[in-house]
Amino acid sequence: MKLFKLRGGVHPESRKELAADRAIRVLPMPEYLYVPLLQHVGAPAQPNVNVGDKVLKGQLIGASQGVISAPVHAPTSGHIVAVGDYPAAHPSGLTAPTITIKADGEDRWLDTEAVSDPFVLSPDQISARVAAAGIVGLGGATFPSAVKLNLSRKNNVHTLIINGGECEPYITCDDRLMRERAAEIVEGVRLIRYAVGAEVVMVGIEDNKPAALAAMTLAAKNTEVKVIAVPAMYPMGWDKQMIKALTGREVPADGRTADIGVLVHNVATAFAVRDAVRFGRPLVSRLVTVSGGSVIEPANLEVPIGTLVENLFQFCGGFRNKPARMVLGGPMMGIQLASAAVPIVKGSSGVLALTDSEIGNVQPSPCIRCSSCVRACPVGLLPLDMAAHIRAGDSSAAVTLGLKDCVACGCCSFVCPSHIPLVHYFNFAKGELMEQERVKLKQESTKKLAEMRNERIARIERERVEAAAKRKAAREARERAAKEAAAKVVTETA
């Protein structure tokens, strides 16, 4: 099949060999699980359990609320020991609302409603089961999957693309999933296709994963699913890049993929959809790659949601040397972990412990305008100019240059010979813009409130004056009447 040409991109050292040949292993159930209520894009789930409650594996512990939200479920059986704040996976170590479960060691499932042939379900039922299972985009975007399914059906999506790009260095969990559970993935893909009514189904897999390609091709044989090798290049796993490569079309800047009739899901999401639809099982675990130069025995682990990152490192034999940096996710877009005592969430594809030489940490020097960043940018931006404006405190000039189109993929920072943290500048400016937006909204609402207050005061004043006038008129009328009566009396007496 003909692939379409892409702009920019980089070829970082893949380092996937550290973990690629290590088969999936199940992490032993830890004693405590810390399940955050916000593991997705949208509104956080609302806890519906209390401290002391006994829960079964797969039981709902946080209900979805709002249009864009997802529920969370107990990853094992046990009882609730805390509902409150716990450090989240964030560079600052900030806390987030979290439900803590003490495992009872039985790992007993809730009775779930399995179906022998999921294709007899209606598309609405499939969507409902996906929503109830709390499935979100497992490639890292963590957008609630059911919302995407419903949106796609409304928009008459004709093409379903399954993203098996996995372009982040080190990360191999999707690779292993495709090698070991290809048939299940393909069934999940076919269920999604059926649910949205797409005509074309393509699975894009980077050509640096020949075993995954072979396994998926075999599993997809005699189905409507087409498995396609795409060139290994970062950021091939960016959904819009994958769409461009496979269909030649671009998602409009202010639109969604559904606007051009395309729905993109990750391979791991498709696997989770199959579990949810066929067995009624919610998303309570995921595959996580543990890798990096400091890890003694890199691995691909099936991990219950809410497991602490440190448990994963311990299971992998600990560190061969003190890691220079711990990262949640891949090295290109992952976040730095201030501590390993934070829980794995639905969007965590990997945890890395990197050495000094791996992170290439060098003090930045001045920009020489070499435009390596311009060539590397998959979006077509001018990172050097944007950063220069932001540095000078002029974020709005950076917006004019397309700051809002930046996807923070990190290609520009990666290639910069001056080691300028370009993406950091952009995210800083995006934060600043958000702040400005908030201030503006606040000012507007303050202004509105002030206007309403003035109006209210004026109305009260007006009413007071009117009432006084009325009272005065009544009094005068009374006085007049009294006078007239007095005059009458006088006349009568006279």
Partner 1 sequence: MNRIAHSPHAHAPISISKVMVTVMVALIPATLFGFWLYGWPSINLWAVSLIASIGGEALVVSWQGRTVRPVLMDGSGILTAWLLALSLPPFAPWWIAVLGSLFAVVICKQVFGGLGQNVFNPAMAARVMLLISFPLEMTTWISPVPLGSAHAPSLMESLRITFQSHPIDGMASASLLGHVKTEFTRGIGLDQSLVGYYAPWHSLAGDRAGSLGETAAVLLLLGGLYLIARRIITWHAPVAMLLGVAIPALLFNLINSNHYAGPLYHLLSGGVMLGAFFIVTDPVTSPNTTAGQLIFGFGCGLLTWIIRTWGGYPEGVAFAVMLMNAATPIIDYYVKPRIYGRDRKGVALPVGKES
Residues near partner 1, by CB under 8 A: 7, 10, 12-13, 91-92, 169, 240, 244, 249-255, 259-261, 324-325, 327, 331-336, 338, 352, 354, 358-362, 365-372, 374-375, 377-382, 384-385, 401-402, 405, 408, 410, 413-415, 417-419, 421, 423-424, 427
Look up residue 124 and give its amino acid.
D
Closer to partner 1 by Cβ: residue 312 or 411? 411
User: Counting beta carbons within 10 angstroms of the beta carbon of residue 477, is it exposed (0 to 12), middle (13 to 18) or buried (19 or more)?
Assistant: exposed
Q: What are phi and psi of 241, to 5 degrees?
A: -70, -45
Q: Which residues contact 318 (CB under 8 A, 6 or more apart)?
A: 296
Q: Least distance from C-beta 96 to partner 1, angstroms? A: 18
> Which of 323-352 are b and which e, b meaning 16 or more Cβ less than 10 Å from the residue's Cβ?
bbbbbbbbbbbbeebeebebbbbbbbbbbb
**Do 338 and 93 contact (CB within 8 A), yes or no?**
yes
Closer to partner 1 by Cβ: residue 311 or 413? 413
- Alpha carbon distance 12, 172 (integer Å): 15
Q: Parallel, antiparallel, or unpaired for β 72-73 and 78-87? A: unpaired
- Alpha carbon distance 160, 100 (integer Å): 37
**Do 365 and 419 contact (CB within 8 A), yes or no?**
yes
Closer to partner 1 by Cβ: residue 49 or 258? 258
Q: Least distance from C-beta 355 to partner 1, angstroms? A: 11
The number of angstroms, rounded, from the C-alpha of 47 to the middle of its chain's C-alpha atoms is 20
Question: Which tokens hold the place of 445?
Answer: 């609402």
Q: Least distance from C-beta 70 to partner 1, angstroms? A: 25
Question: Which CA distances in Å does 170 have to 166, 240, 389?
Answer: 10, 22, 34
Closer to partner 1 by Cβ: residue 125 or 371? 371
Q: Least distance from C-beta 81 to partner 1, angstroms? A: 29
The number of angstroms, rounded, from the C-alpha of 308 to the middle of its chain's C-alpha atoms is 19
Q: Least distance from C-beta 393 to partner 1, angstroms? A: 17
- Beta strand ranges found along 277-432 (DSSP E): 285-291, 299-304, 325-328, 335-336, 350-354
Q: Least distance from C-beta 424 to partner 1, angstroms? A: 4
Look up residue 239 and give its amino acid.
D
Closer to partner 1 by Cβ: residue 122 or 427? 427
Question: Which tokens hold the place of 378?
Answer: 């998959």
Q: Which DSSP helix (H) or strand (E) runs through 178?
A: helix 173-180
Q: What are phi and psi of 428, to 5 degrees?
A: -60, -45
Closest CA to 293 of 315, 322, 314: 322
Q: Least distance from C-beta 88 to partner 1, angstroms? A: 15
Q: Least distance from C-beta 341 to partner 1, angstroms? A: 14
Closer to partner 1 by Cβ: residue 143 or 428? 428
Q: What are phi and psi of 65, to 5 degrees?
A: -140, 135
Q: Least distance from C-beta 98 to partner 1, angstroms? A: 22
Closer to partner 1 by Cβ: residue 250 or 444? 250
Closer to partner 1 by Cβ: residue 65 or 247? 247
Question: Which tokens hold the place of 139?
Answer: 């490639």
**Do 259 and 252 contact (CB within 8 A), yes or no?**
yes
Q: Least distance from C-beta 420 to partner 1, angstroms? A: 10
**Do 350 and 336 contact (CB within 8 A), yes or no?**
no
Closer to partner 1 by Cβ: residue 174 or 385? 385
End-to-end CA distance of the chain: 122
Q: Least distance from C-beta 239 to partner 1, angstroms? A: 12
**Do 331 and 168 contact (CB within 8 A), yes or no?**
yes
Closer to partner 1 by Cβ: residue 427 or 445? 427
Q: Least distance from C-beta 243 to partner 1, angstroms? A: 10
Closer to partner 1 by Cβ: residue 210 or 417? 417
Q: What are phi and psi of 63, to 5 degrees?
A: -90, 145
